[in-house]
Amino acid sequence: MALSVDIRKALGNFHLAVQFDAGDETLALLGASGCGKSVTLKCIAGILTPDEGHIELDGVTLYDSASRINLPPQRRQVGYLFQQYALFPNMTVRQNIAAAVRDKARRQTEVAEKLRQFRLEAVADQKPGQLSGGQQQRCALARILASEPTAILLDEPFSALDSYLKWQVELELMEVLDQFDGPTLFVTHNRDEVYHFCSHVCVLEGGRSQPMEPVETLFRAPAT
């Protein structure tokens, strides 16, 4: 599977111009706050519409300005982990995961599998407000994978966690990504996270993407 992105978008005085390709890997979008990382993810997910360009995932065109193609978010098969997880507050863990399962005939089996995989069985009937930060993230990841996404978008996945939880959750997320067969975009401004999780990195600076490079190259001789 592959994700190809080549888009432009203006938001007031801010101008985004991003181009990169990701295969079955975890690609870091690295840059300071306000450089366009989250805007890029929202354009890929269909939450925002670029002004022009092309987005393709696993051979399917998600967006193309020339052909006037713009698939709605629910048809893009993209799993998006928001910074604050965006769980449904009035639903239990079990119900949050069930809401993402497309095949109704397999819903009960799939929910049970995800509860076991993410060690959420003990809190399955609790609501997000009753969960720890780590449990909320595991619930959000379980919901994403229950939707059988072709790509995963992670928007600063550790920003809502305190330092005590972060180490354990990092290990859990690493295990999830190792098992995922498809492109993952990992938005961060933290170089340690890039080093731990990603094979390649695309640096964004002032809304513009720099050429992709292996993570080892970034740390050995950073261009930016």
Q: How confident is the model over 95-152, as pLDDT tens digits?
A: 999 999 988 899 999 999 999 988 899 999 999 999 988 899 889 999 999 999 999 9
pLDDT digits over 64-97, tens only? 999 999 999 999 999 999 878 889 999 999 999 9
- Tell me, what's the pLDDT at 59? 95
CA dist., res. 83 & res. 42, Å (int): 12
Q: What is the average pLDDT score of the chain? A: 91
Mean pLDDT of 10-34: 95
Residue 221 pLDDT > 80: no
With cut-offs at 50, 70 and 90, classify the pLDDT of residue 13: very high
The pLDDT of residue 14? 96
What pLDDT was estimated at residue 174?
84
Q: Is the pLDDT of residue 223 over 60?
A: no
Contacts of 12 (CB under 8 A, 6+ apart): none
User: At 160, is the pLDDT very low, low, confident or very high (cuts 50, 70, 90)?
Assistant: low
Asked if the model's pLDDT at residue 11 lies above 60, the reply is yes
By CB neighbour count within 10 A (0-12 exposed, 13-18 middle, 19+ buried), where does 201 fall?
buried
Q: Average of pLDDT values for 198-219?
A: 93
In the prediction, which pLDDT does 12 show?
94
pLDDT at 44: 98
As a whole number, mean pLDDT of residues 30-35 equals 92
Count of positions (residues) in the chain: 224
The two three-digit tokens of residue 172, written as one number: 């859990």
CA distance 106 to 51: 39
pLDDT band at 168 (very low <50, low <70, confident <90, very high): confident
Q: Please name the residue that has the structure tokens 């065109």.
A: 61
Instruction: Give residue 51's pLDDT.
Output: 98
